[in-house]
Structure 1
Amino acid sequence: MQIVQGFKPDVDAFKAQGYEVVTEADGQFDLAIVAVPRAKAEARALIADAALRADQVIVDGQKTDGIDSIWKDIKKRVETQVVSKAHGKAIRFSGGASGGDFSDWANPGPLHLIEGFTTRLGVFSVDRIDKASEALAEALPAKLPPRIADLGAGWGYLSRAILAREGVKELHLVEAEAAAIASAKDNITDDRAQFHWEDATKFKPPHLLDAVIMNPPFHTTRAADPALGQAFIAAAAGMLTPQGQLWLVANRQLPYEATLASLFGTVDEIAVTGGFKLLHAAKPLRRAATKP
């Protein structure tokens, strides 16, 4: 069995159980199971790849992730068998030579939907610059400390803005999605950049840093999960020098201030714009038990 997964925390969890895990499928199979992601283009690309590689394909998904429309599109191409339960469907069809033609759904590879940047299917904000990251990039001071991490760096928009500031000598881009870190490598060619395909909440830099700058994710499902952003903040505090600084952007309703106050000596709201708040914290009160 081969598991295809690009999200590093899940990759690590599967590998710890002894499974073979790859970011792209490799080989031919008797059966492929596709767990439908939220993005329709990404879901289609996974189905197209499965149809080429496997004799039988099962597509599993929830109504909230668009499984009904996907089923309608699949049955126009190939005969299907469907099991419906609760708010989900499992769709089975024949792949390989006896299956339908899904070539127009194939993964197009690197995308050039945003001027000056490369993205890929499966990344956050695949076709536009994220407004929160844009607000934080505009709010950063003209001069930044020398050693910095961008946690949850995505495809590199914020990192490029950081590297354009005076004073930066070293930037660690930390990102859990393989497609995003691959895109960041296309977008950032500066020798000061170092790329880490890792869970930002567990990342250990080679030495303590002067600053962390981030637009932390706040979704593990469709519902907002403030604990994820809070874990990013705690991780940032653990990788900073005693005089280190943190800049972050968040949706206005997310309750990060108490976490920041418990981990940093000073916390300030530096701006509120377009539904986002921009926060600056400095002088971490305690570092992670395991130092980098």
Structure 2
Amino acid sequence: MAALLQPDMRSARLALALDSGAISLPTEGRIAVFRPRSGDDLSDLPKDRVTVITGFRPDHDWFTARGYACATAVEGAFAAALVCLPRAKAEARALLAAACAALPHGAPVVVDGQKTDGVDAVYKDLRGRVAVSEAMAKAHGKIFSFPAGNALTDWAGTVAEVEGFVTAPGVFSADGPDRGSALLAAALPAKFPSRVVDLGAGWGYLSRHILTRAGVKELHLVEAELAALDCARQNVTDDRAQFHWADATTWQVPHLAGSVVCNPPFHTGRDADPALGLAFLRAAAKMLAPDGSLWVVWNRHLPYDPALRALFREIEDVGGDGAFRVTRASYPVRR
């Protein structure tokens, strides 16, 4: 699920910068907009020239539904770029390098971001490398530009190998397995039903563990972030694995599953959002067979107990520690 900016934050900065002449865009040619989020208002840009570039499926679908051309990677020539800064520093740098690589030398790269997403640090880092414009501050963020060139080639995103797994900049837990997933992996049963879903599979850590258990004939990896799913394709090479680039909260399983394994996210941007994890729980319940089970790890402070008890007939804690609970929820309630 995508994090919504407060209404018109990005639009307010972009409109001010364009109207004041602080930032100018070429009158012709395509404009690449990297990583805007669902709810972002791009109406200050000529829609027929904009291509939204994002690998996050909910954002991709949101802009597609509103008539924007969308792509998961740079394709063809562009005359300018707008980079909407993400939270992760490594991903932000990779996007800026990708924007430069997509443009002719000297073409404008516009950078927009919230202070909470590190725009000040990015601006400071860029000042030592490129001829960056003065930053305009508005709506708790900043916008500025610089000419494309070769100065950021060392910022280009590269995959890394961590504990035998391939990861990429910006994916969840890129530095290695997170504590919750490790606890869930340790609590998984010795045998699974034949059809299993890894909901929000990330780069495939849990999937690899699932495939070591007896009984599994079909494993569906469902992941909204394409960069993570591409890593999972390298990390999970078993023929039983099927990969789905999809919003886990809306994806429909081809056939009801015997088990769902899930470490649901609970943040949108920097803010905790229990509704996101609850949407994962509801989606899992719908894709399970009547006698199926959900294996889920969650932070103890999250209010998931009432939802789990409303969605399943049997609830049992099967692992965890002081910060996390690992729960098996069985027999989904059919309404």
Give the TM-score normalised by structure 2.
0.82
Q: What corresponds to 2:151 in structure 1?
A: 101
Give the Cα–Cα distance (whole angstroms) in 2 for the partners of residues 234 and 86 of structure 1. Answer: 35
Q: What corresponds to 1:90 in structure 2?
A: 143
- Corresponding pairs, count: 282
Residue identity over aligned pairs, in percent, reads 55
Cα gap change, 1:66 to 1:255, in 2 (>3 Å): same
DSSP 3-state at the match of 1:165: coil
DSSP 3-state at the match of 1:104: helix
2:278 pairs with 1:230: yes
1:100 CA drift (Å): 5.8
Give the Cα–Cα distance (whole angstroms) in 2 for the partners of residues 76 and 217 of structure 1. Answer: 36
Give the Cα–Cα distance (whole angstroms) in 1 for the partners of residues 166 and 322 of structure 2. Answer: 26
Q: What corresponds to 2:19 in structure 1?
A: none
Letter matched to residue 12 of structure 1: D
2:312 to 255, 261, 264: 264
- Is residue 183–residue 320 contact of structure 2 (8 Å, CA) maintained in 1? no
Q: What corresponds to 1:216 in structure 2?
A: 264
- Is residue 133–residue 249 contact of structure 1 (8 Å, CA) maintained in 2? yes
Letter matched to residue 104 of structure 1: D
Within a 5 Å distance, the mapping from 1:97-246 to structure 2 comes to 99=149, 101-108=151-158, 110-112=159-161, 114-246=162-294
Letter matched to residue 177 of structure 2: I
Letter matched to residue 111 of structure 1: A
Q: What corresponds to 1:39 in structure 2?
A: 88
Give the TM-score normalised by structure 1.
0.93
Cα gap change, 1:272 to 1:77, in 2 (>3 Å): closer
- Is residue 77–residue 100 contact of structure 1 (8 Å, CA) maintained in 2? no
Give the Cα–Cα distance (whole angstroms) in 2 for the partners of residues 106 and 242 of structure 1. Answer: 47
DSSP 3-state at the match of 2:79: strand
The worse-fitting range, judged by mean Cα deviation, of 139-148 and 169-178 is 139-148
- Is residue 237–residue 263 contact of structure 1 (8 Å, CA) maintained in 2? yes
Give the Cα–Cα distance (whole angstroms) in 2 for the partners of residues 274 and 258 of structure 1. Answer: 20
The worse-fitting range, judged by mean Cα deviation, of 153-162 and 68-77 is 68-77
**Gaps (5+ residues) in structure 2?**
1-49
Give the Cα–Cα distance (whole angstroms) in 1 for the partners of residues 113 and 293 of structure 2. Answer: 42
- Is residue 42–residue 122 contact of structure 1 (8 Å, CA) maintained in 2? yes
1:25 CA drift (Å): 1.5
- Is residue 2–residue 25 contact of structure 1 (8 Å, CA) maintained in 2? no
Cα gap change, 1:30 to 1:158, in 2 (>3 Å): same
Give the Cα–Cα distance (whole angstroms) in 1 for the partners of residues 143 and 102 of structure 2. Answer: 19
Letter matched to residue 5 of structure 1: T
1:222 CA drift (Å): 1.1
Q: C-alpha root-mean-square deviation of aligned residues, in Å?
A: 1.3
DSSP 3-state at the match of 1:133: helix
Letter matched to residue 197 of structure 1: W
2:109 pairs with 1:57: yes
**Gaps (5+ residues) in structure 1?**
288-292
1:146 CA drift (Å): 1.3
DSSP 3-state at the match of 1:69: helix
- Is residue 78–residue 100 contact of structure 1 (8 Å, CA) maintained in 2? no
Cα gap change, 1:89 to 1:100, in 2 (>3 Å): farther
Give the Cα–Cα distance (whole angstroms) in 1 for the partners of residues 223 and 111 of structure 2. Answer: 28
Give the Cα–Cα distance (whole angstroms) in 2 for the partners of residues 5 and 52 of structure 1. Answer: 16
1:274 CA drift (Å): 4.3
Letter matched to residue 154 of structure 2: D
- Is residue 87–residue 269 contact of structure 2 (8 Å, CA) maintained in 1? no
1:93 CA drift (Å): 1.3
The worse-fitting range, judged by mean Cα deviation, of 65-74 and 267-276 is 267-276
Q: Deviations over 1:132-153 (max 9, x none)?
A: 0000000111111111101000
Q: What corresponds to 1:290 in structure 2?
A: none
Give the Cα–Cα distance (whole angstroms) in 2 for the partners of residues 141 and 94 of structure 1. Answer: 55
Within a 5 Å distance, the mapping from 1:271-286 to structure 2 comes to 271-286=319-334
